[in-house]
Amino acid sequence: MTGRLVLVRHGQSYGNVERRLDTRPPGAELTDLGRDQARSFARGLSRPAAMVVHSVARRAEQTAAEIAGELRLDTHHFEGIHEVQVGELENRNDDAAIEQFEATYQRWHEGELGLAMPGGETGEQVLDRYLPVLTQLRLRYLDDHEFHGDIVVVSHGAAIRLAAAVLAGVDSSFALDHHLANTESVVLAPITDGRWSCVQWGALTPPFYPEPDVHPVEDALQSADPMG
């Protein structure tokens, strides 16, 4: 069996309930629903998991603990796979802040990775810290023929979508139009020459067609959970 990376967004947090741009670790804790979501995710896995890792954020650590408890595995934390850092927009939940975040995030997916969140990260900086962790997991575990099973990586919606789209060549309009709800995942399978194939995005499987008419800013303003 060839192992895969299952990049799962954390369970519902109090920051999500309050619609806040909660990105700076440690951040908000999980709600009771968030813990239930994590356990349900673990019980719903279709393939064996061999390892559970998580970002330094509290909500990711708690999600990983619930998943690992169901799977009877240990958890491991990794630096670098936390959420996009929004700088001056941190902890805001007003429409103006959400609009600015989503507009910048959209431009990253459209190729302007050098653009920064106000007082926060550029898309390049996010990828520069995030992608090496996934490469490390691949080289150390997935490429080892003695290692069997998937690696569950508990991370964050915006960061997962950006990293997965870049690594697996998923069309930017598709990534922008398909947010991840709490404990939804993107699954990446290693293929030849260090490349990756995206074999699942939320409830969808390939092919992932371009979306002809995307409105991520407007969608986020109408959403109860703009960070997914």
Contacts of 211 (CB under 8 A, 6+ apart): 171, 173, 174, 176, 177
Both tokens assigned to 69: 């408890």
Average pLDDT over residues 36-59: 97
Token pair recorded at residue 114: 């050098």
Closest CA to 67 of 4, 143, 9, 145: 9
What mean pLDDT do residues 126-134 have? 98
| Phi/psi of residue 13, nearest 5 degrees | -110, 170
* Confidence category of residue 223, pLDDT binned at 50, 70, 90: confident
Single pTM value for the model: 0.95
Cα separation, 27 vs 61, whole angstroms: 11
Answer for the pair 198, 164: CB distance below 8 angstroms, yes or no.
yes
Gap between the Cα atoms of 90 and 98, Å rounded:
10
Interacting residues of 203 by C-beta distance below 8 A, sequence separation 6+ = 184
Which letter does DSSP use for residue 139 in this model?
I
pLDDT of 64-91, one tens digit each? Answer: 999 999 999 999 999 999 999 999 999 9
Confidence of residue 227 (pLDDT cuts 50, 70, 90): confident
pLDDT at position 224: 77
